[in-house]
Structure 1
Amino acid sequence: MTEVFETAGKKAGLQVWRVENMALVENASAINGNFHTGDSYLVLKTSKTRSGSFQWDLHFWLGLDSSQDERGAAAILTFQMDDYLGGGPVQYRQIQEHESSEFMALFPKGVKYMKGGVASGFKKAKTNVSDAKRLLHVKGRRSVRASEVPMKWSSFNHGDSFILDYGNDVYQWDGKECNGFEKLKADNVAKAIISDEKGGKGKLTKVEDGDTIPKAMLEALEGTPQDVQPATSDDIKAQVTRVPATLYHVSSDTGTLKIKKVGQAPFNQTDLDPGDCFVLDNGSYGKIFVWKGKQASKDERSGALMNATKFITDKNYSQFTQIELMAQGAETVMFKQFFRSWRNKHETVGFGEAYSASKVAKIEQIKFDMKSLSDSKLAARYRMVDDGSGKLEIWRVEDGLKPVDKSKYGIFFAGDCYLMLYTYKVGSRQEYIIYFWQGLHATKDEITASAFLAVELDKKYDDRPVQVRVVQSKEPPHLLSLFGGNPMIIVSGGRSRGKADGGIDETALVQVFCTATGGRACQVETTAKSLNSNDAFVLKTKSDCYIWVGLGASDDEVNAAKYTAGKLSSQSPKIVKEGHEDAAFWSLLGGKQEYASHPRLQDDLNENPPRLFAISNASGRVIVDEVPGEFSQADLCEDDVMMLDVWDQVFIWIGKGANAQERKAAPGLAEEYVKNDPRKRDSGISIINISQGNEPLIFTGFFPTWSTTFQYVKL
């Protein structure tokens, strides 16, 4: 086995081995994605990091007809390969027809299940041959699986696609109830068979349900076309009781393997001990995780896997429950999501270089170069469609919409809701964004009215604007750029709270903080404990005005504080640096108190990669289906509603052919999705509605390529 392990994971790419008599036999790359149901396989994905090192994902795949001995051998060989690679791979147990999205993403052309296996004496698959005789049933709109079925007309049904691989000819038969997206996926499988397995020397013939059947198909298949079965609905998963994820500690320190419950999600990273192993049980949602500490013994590591397997039986989970194993330092995003926060080794806090200033890490803010907006990837990263210099109109929700005086643009009351219409140009074409901003203390009636009025305003522009719901403190960078480089000022009160247009508390403390693309100035409680060493603050009274500069405050934040002071106070501000306050300053805050003096933590979006979902009721019920792996524009279906999760924002993309039920269900599903995230995400993140043909750069930039003339698939 040593010679096999010596070739494993040495360069970026995909390697597949079949388990044969306790040994590994490597597949030819041309047939990767073909699996015999009576066998077990190891699949290794090797990726090269920016630092030049390798990282690995190691899957052991178990066919439904594979023997217990073969399954045991696959687990042992996986453990041995993991050891050979220094414990670095993340390991996954995969069961035929129930593979994870991570696994399916390795085979963009789909996976094919063939009957037989080593024990049944099957012959190895060969490329560029003319003796193929098999019928494949193609299922799945996103994750495509092609299963070998008996070569009979009774194997067909009117709702799916089937591929007859017969000699050098390939026939694709599409049922009359098969939709366009499924036909496209079947077409991809058929072409892959010709290009990968037949060396490009095959002919593809497409046959629609009801067409004249080619003579070769009639000869190859048992029975007649009259034997085709009715369409079958997609499998509906059985309802199970959902329980929160639970963390278990696995240890053999006393000489006997013991497991102990730690608690339920969300967990703390400090709960994990490098000297032991842990099992994160999320089996009611279909997955068990095993975490291996660097100092854990071999017994503890193998014991953790054994216990994860035992959980499946003891807790009556599905036999198809996935198992994911990882070493300390190689944690996956799906594992980290169950923890309140996660710090990677050598992680830098915030943007740019951090250095110590009286024990406070100062964050050097990187100025955003608006010229870079032509790069959609950067536009997506910073959520910017342009430089914010377009036309802005603002209304406050007040018995309809009341225009805000332009001299008050940029000042918002936390007790109110506002609509903002932003008009900008892309080439010679005008584009629109409607932001409906909801203050944290606005009434339910005002919040409801803001959403309704946004729809009404959208109709006036023929449904072309992008609608963005914005909850106070979750303002996207582009919105923050609309005020001429000045901060967005948010003060307490509002019309519903009895405040006049220009009303602001006589004594107020306002926190000012900036990011790479904009800033906010938010009124906070007038007390010393509200201070934060990373920011600047404005403290105003009837007769005084101070600007307090924290040790970690940037020059931009100081300048933003000066602007804020000028808008909120008629007094000339006094600059006070942290550590140099006088008694009068502390007196205005009710006395000196302890306040936050640790570095501000900012989200690392690389740890939360974008995820794309389709929302469809094509089967008669609303289904949310994730697109596996790296997605592209081709994964957007014109007759569906799609949901793109980029962690700090969620986009709802509405295809032109999406029906009313899908459109209605999508926003609620998006809110439920965020609410049920194991990491306890803030339910106030922006949910952005966009329509097909009106996608802004902040959406398209998350796709590898984007074409405005792209022809979408219709169902």
Structure 2
Amino acid sequence: MSILIVSKNCNFAVEALAGLASKEDFTAVALKKASPSSAIMLPYKDVMLLHVKGRRHVQTRLVEPSVTSVNRGDSYVLVAPGQVYHWVGKYSNVIERSRGAEVALHIQQKKDLGCSGASSVITLGEEKTAGFNSSHSANFWRLLGGDESSKAVEAGHPDEDELYESCLIDTNMVFEVVNDELVPVEEYWGTIPKIKMLDPSKILVFDYGSELYVWSGKTAPLDQRRVAKRLAQELWEDGYDYSDCDVCPLSVTELLGANRTGSAVSKQSSTRPPWALLAKVTQHMETILFREKFLDWPDFTRVIRIKGCDDEDKQTDASMDLKPCDAKLMLEPNLTEPDMELEGNHLGRGTKYFDEEVSILLVPSVFTTHRHYEITTQSVTMWHILEFEYTQLPQISLGQFHSGDSYVVRWRYVVTVTGRELNGQPSRHSAVGRDRCAYFCWQGSDASLNEQGAAALLTVELDEELGPQVRVVQGAEHPVFLHLFQGSMVIHSGKREGSDPYQRKGWRLYICQGNEKEEAALVQVQCSGRSLRSRSSLVLVNSSRGTVFVWHGAKTCAHTKKIAMSSAEQLKKRPIEMEFPSEVDIVITELNEGSESKDFFKALGGNNRHLYVSLRHERGSYTHTPRMFHLGSLSGTFLATEVLCPHRTTEIPVPYPFLQADLYSASQPALFLLDNHHELWLWQGWWPVHNEESDGDNKNLRGSRAVLWQAERRAAMQTALDYWGLKHGNSRPRAYLVWAGLEPLAFTNLFPIWSDRDDIAELNISDGKKPGELLSVEAELARLTRSTYPAAQLLQRPLPDGVDPTRLEFYLDPNHFQHQD
């Protein structure tokens, strides 16, 4: 009765008032527990250890949360209730560190992987830095089953990162749920997944060994989702079998670093370990661990990041439109041969030279006389230069250089000149010139500036004849210089008195360079499978055994094979630097790519063809000489300057005519277009960090420099497409963009020797670039030449690439403006 009275004086219904007045005893209510099958499908565990490893396609994988899983060569993210740790190994590369930091920060900020209470990311390393807290370190190891005295295992060989990538990617498995079955998606089996495969109407199952995901598109049928869940559970309970793979993703940590003892590691089991993850994810709700497996997952955090800038209010007239280079002129072959001119005489390649001189007489006729120069070497002397002294080397050591030293070479020679008679016939008379002398100052790529300066000064001191002095940089030797050693030149790594940094258990590897036997040179490279090149020949030496392997790549030209064998024969002269024992016979064995012996791969650390791009199965022709152009607008006009190989020849192909230094020694940011016949590569440099940029953030660059750089990029991309169209017709352009420090393996293998530059990689990663990213020139040019943007995107900083900050109003669509009557 009281409720009816109250209801007359208020706006609530009688039923509502009765509900408010009722009393319930919730202690008598029995809550229904979640079934184990549903709980196990959560996309996270209480404690998760994420292993971040790789260089070009960094892999972030769930591994066993154990002390033995952590090694000093990688980066790790540990996720626990209310805690996120980022552990950085002392020998991890900059790409692993950067990616690990980004993953950890995302988990903490977005409360991903079930981590909701972490106030910040705790970064740990082996070196105690500012803000180091020993309690954090102790807790990190305790979560992994250790104690505060626990330590990471030793790091592995530098090759391990790329081997890990390729071997782990081969184990990827993707299924599609069709009716009541799991059907393998062959296109993405053993490859890196791409975002285009995520069809909203489909259900896919991704099996990464330690992680198994059921991904459901937003429009996938509900009954199919139930079927997918059941099928995934059955696949999970069947265990795993990776017997046909190089590694097992669930036990791969047992093969990394000091854990690799040589004992066999199990690749199959009837059950998966309890720390592994069986998860269900829905479209647009994917976890960071799932997204990290994809090659091209969009990273919107790089777009919306806002940075302050002191010169934001500065206005500059930066609008510019550079015209692309004339591709027709670029395609014209360059037929110039190398020539060195000393004291007014042309020396050609060091043996002979034909000089054409055009004479115009009073009569209306023009004829050409030919002068033939013959160059004869009288003697060659070589000195090893130290900072305060020099030592003359014995004759047996002529041509034996070290990359960490500098040398002075004296060349005494005579030039004989013959011409033609008045009737045009070759002259029977010749003029023998005076004795001549030239000094070459050779500087190794690893020599210190002090030693290089000392070599230049001592060259002047040694030059008693007052002859010309020529500076020679390692890798850019002129054929005249190479000819002095008649095919016996060898460049060893390190210093003459020091240790050999490239040697592996008594084995040394050399790549053969040069286009003639007399110009051949063996250059020591890292004794690893990463140094192999399918278009070259390499020489593998074990001095103590007297063993010499000459390895020929699958696409090595016949003349390169002959030159490599000739260089190997030169080693039988037993130069002191090769350290062959006198009592050991030197045995030379030829090997071809694909039929190597076990001893050969054992010397290189294993049969690891993943470390280089093998052309064994390629059917195309590889008798071309790559060409490279330096693109820029320094003179105000966008021009292409061809980079020429110092020992080039027009008669035979030169497989590796360029060096990494050609790219990295240029003024930055730089653009280079590399034509490898089968594809085009547009290499893009980096923004150098100057002292005046106190914030150290490359993204803060504004003004005409940044706009000019984007204009040059657009012109370079259009040049690349024009170049491809003229050379290959209407075929789809195979033109790709790469960034300095983040080059893919397919690009680095176009150079005879390549060293990773982590310092440059760090700059481009901080600028939003991704390691190993392979962008289409066509797609990127379309993005840079986009004409309109939403207003919200133009208000963000940094601006999209290609947008002129002084003309933002031109990028707005007319529909974006409000019309007033």
User: Which of the five TM-score ranges fits, normalised by the shorter chain?
Assistant: 0.3 to 0.5
Structure that is richer in strand per residue: 1
User: TM-score if structure 2 supplies the norm length?
Assistant: 0.29
